[in-house]
Amino acid sequence: MTTAPSDLPPPLLVDRIVGFVGTGIMGASMAGHLLDAGCVLNVHNRTRSKAEGLVARGATWHDSPEGVAASSDVVITMLGYPVDVERVYLGGEGGDGIVAASRPGALLIDMTTSSPSLAARIASAATAGGRTALDAPVSGGDVGARSATLVVMCGGDEAGFTRAVPLLRRLGRSVTRLGAAGAGQRCKLANQVAVAVGMVAWCEALSHARAGGLDPAAVQQVIAGGAAGSWALTTLAPRALAGDFAPGFLVKHLVKDIAIALETARETGIDLPGLETAARLYEAVVTRGWQDEGTQALARLYPGW
C-alpha cells in the first residue's frame, strides 16, 4: 500500500494538459477541480450538454474520446459501465479507443467502478503501446466529487501512480495504491460488498423494530451511536424514514457493482452468502421498478416503508 500524504498540500502539477472523458454528475465536478488547479482541459461526454459548463470555463470540446486523448498528456475517464470503459479504451463503435489514440507516454486513469480483469487488460494494452493505465475508482459519491473529498483507490504501475498523485489529490482527500492493475477496482468492490450487505443490516433492523410496533425513527436514534452503528444507518436510514428515496447513489449502479463483485468472487473461488442475499434483494428492488432511486430504496421491500 502506498498512500499519498493528505495532511500536506497537494504536490505541484507536472502534467497540465489533461483530458476528461465522462462529465456526468461526478465527472463534471471532478473536471472542474482540475480547471481550478490550472489544468488545460480537453473534454468529451456522450451527451454534449453535460460538458457545456466546463467549456464555458475554458475547456476544449472534442467530438470523441480519441480526440481528447490525442490532445492530452493525461486522460481521466469517469464512465458508466464496464462495457463503456472497454469501448472508450480499446475501441468499437467507429473509434480505435484512447489507448491507441493517446500520445506515446500518456497516462490514462480510469475512475469508473469497473471490473478488475478489464482494468488488467487495459493496463497490458497500454504498456504494450508505451502508455501507462491506472484504475482509480472512488468512493464518496456526488458530494465527495463536489467537495474534492473522494477516497481514491488505485491499482497499477507504481511510477504511474506517483505521476498521477498530483492530479488525483485535487479530487480526493485520500489517494492510495493497493497493488498492480485491477487492485483499485478490487478495493472498490470490497467497499461495495460492505455497502450492499450493510444496507440490508439497517433495513432489516429498522423493519424488525417497525413490525414489532416501535417507532423506527426512535430506534434509529437510539442504536446509531453504538455497536450497530454505520455510515448508512446515520446517513441513509433517516432519508428512507422520511420517505426520501432520491438517489445519492443509484440502485442500478450498486446492482452493477454487486454483479462485478460476485463475478470476481467466483473467479477467486470464494463464497459470499451475505452478498448473494443482498444481490437477490436488490434484484427484487429492480423488479419493482425502483432502479433509478437511491440505494436506500431497499427498505421499500419490507412492510411499512
Window 163-222: residues binding its own copies (CB under 8 A): 174, 176, 178-179, 182-183, 186-187, 189-198, 200-209, 211-215, 218-219, 221-222
Residue with smaller CB distance to its own copies, 170 or 188: 188
In the three-class reduction of DSSP (H, G, I as helix; E, B as strand; rest coil), residue 129 is classed as coil
Determine the Cα–Cα distance for residues 278 and 245; give it in Å rounded to an integer: 18
Q: Using the rule CB under 8 A, which residue among 264, 285, 297, 305 binds its own copies? A: 264
Figure out which of the listed residues 181, 278, 285, 299 binds its own copies, where binding follows CB under 8 A: 278
User: Looking at beta carbons only, is 97 or 155 nearer to its own copies?
Assistant: 155
Q: How near is the Cβ of 138 to its own copies at its closest, in Å? A: 9
Would you say 94 or 269 has its CB closer to its own copies? 269
Of 80, 265, 286, 292, which lies in the binding site for its own copies, with binding defined by CB under 8 A? 265
* Residue 232 found at the interface with its own copies (CB under 8 A): yes
Which bin fits 115, alpha (ψ -120 to 50), beta or left (φ > 0)?
beta
Residues 106-165 that bind its own copies (CB under 8 A): 116, 139-141, 151, 153
Compute the distance between CA of residue 77 and CA of residue 21 in angstroms, rounded to an integer. Answer: 5
Total number of residues shown for the chain: 305
CB of 173 to its own copies, least distance (A): 9
Which residues are paired to 294 by β-bridges?
A: 250
Strand ranges (E), 120-202: 132-135, 138-139, 150-155, 172-179
Q: Are 219 and 300 in contact (CB under 8 A)?
A: no
Q: Smallest Cα–Cα separation from 123: which of 188, 71, 185, 39?
A: 185
CB of residue 278 to its own copies, shortest distance in Å: 7
Judged by beta carbon, residue 71 or residue 115, the one nearer its own copies is 115
Binding to its own copies in span 71-100, by CB under 8 A: none
Give the shortest CB-151-to-its own copies separation in angstroms: 5
Beta bridge partners of 106: none
- What's the CA dihedral at 7, 9, 186, 160 to 10 degrees? -140
Closest alpha carbon to 54 in 73, 32, 78: 32
| Backbone CA torsion sign across 87, 116, 113, 298 | positive
Q: Toward its own copies, which CB reaches closer, 71 or 264?
A: 264
Candidate list 227, 242, 243, 289; residue touching its own copies; CB under 8 A: 227
**Whose CA is closest to 60, among 39, 33, 76?**
39
188 is an active site residue: yes
Residue 23 CB partners (closer than 8 Å, separation 6+):
31, 43, 44, 45, 50, 51, 54, 78
Nearer to its own copies, 14 or 284 (CB): 284
Using the rule CB under 8 A, is 229 a contact of its own copies? yes
Smallest distance from its own copies to CB 55, Å:
31
Q: Smallest distance, Å, CB 92 to its own copies?
A: 27
Residues carrying an active site annotation: 188
